[in-house]
Amino acid sequence: MKKQNISASALLVIDMQRYFLCKDAPAFLPPPARLVPNVLDLIDLFRAAGRPVVFTRHAHRRGSDTGEMGRWWRNYLPWAGTRHAELIPEIAPRQGEPVITKTRYSAFEGTRLAAYLRRKRVSKLVICGVMTNFCVETTARHAFMKDFEVIVVSDACCSSKTRYHRASLLNLAYGFARISTTQQLLHSS
C-alpha cells in the first residue's frame, strides 16, 4: 500500500454510533482496540488540513417505511431519538461539520451527501467507520459510481467478524477503492 495524499479529499466517518459500539447495544460489535483512536487521528488530520469531515448515523423514524432494511432486519434497527442512534461520545462533530442521518447502507442513498461534497470541491473520499461489510463497502461502491476517487482506511473500520472485514477490503481493492492505513494517511500530508 502506498502513501495517500488528502488534498481535494473529504473524510467520511460512517456510523460511529452507540448502536454498534456500546456494549449494551443490540448490534454491538467488539471493535478492535485501535478503531476509535484511528478514527480520531483521521478526524484531527483532516481538520488540521482544513478538509471537510462528514459524519453519518444510521437511524429510522418509527412508523416510517424502512423498506428492505426493515424486512431484512425487522426490529433490529437503530431508531431515531434513541440513545443508540447517537454518535459515541468520543466522536464530537464541530459546528459546521454535517451529520447525515441515513436509512440505507449507502450514505449517498436518499441524502444530500454528493451535492455537499461537490459544493466543497471534493474529488476524493476517505472512508472509515462501521461496518466494513455493510455501510462502508456500500458507500465506497456508491462513491465510486458517482466518480469519486475512494480510499478506505483498513484499520479505521471494522465488522462483526474479521473475515467479513477482510473480504470487503479485498473486494473493494479489486476495482472500487484504494486501501490505506491510518499511518499512511498521517504520514502523507
Known catalytic membership, residue 135: yes
- Does residue 140 lie within any of the structural domains? yes
Q: Which three cell numbers stand for residue 94?
A: 464541530
**Among the listed residues 105, 109, 116, the one whose alpha carbon sits nearest the alpha carbon of residue 58:** 105
Longest dimension (CA), the chain: 47
Is residue 149, in this structure, part of any structural domain at all?
yes
124 is catalytic: no
Question: Which pLDDT does position 40 carry in this prediction?
Answer: 98
- Number of structural domains found in the chain: 1
Bridge-based pairing state of the strands 178-180 and 53-58: unpaired
Does residue 3 lie within any of the structural domains?
A: no
Q: What pLDDT shows up at residue 73?
A: 85
Query: Which one from 102, 128, 157, 158 is the annotated catalytic residue?
Result: 102
Find the CATH number of the domain harbouring 19.
Answer: 3.40.50.850
Please indicate, yes or no, if residue 21 is contained in any of the structural domains. yes
Which residue positions in the chain have pLDDT lower than 50?
A: 1-3
> Which of 41, 124, 128, 135 does the annotation list as catalytic?
135
Distances (CA, A) of 34 to 21, 38, 61, 156: 13, 6, 32, 8
Q: Tell me the whole-structure pTM to 2 decimals.
A: 0.95
Please give the pLDDT value at position 1. 41
Residue 1 in any domain: the answer is: no
Domain that holds residue 29: 9-186
Residue 92 placed within a domain: yes
| Active-site entry in 15, 41, 128, 158 | 15
Q: What is the DSSP letter of 159?
A: -
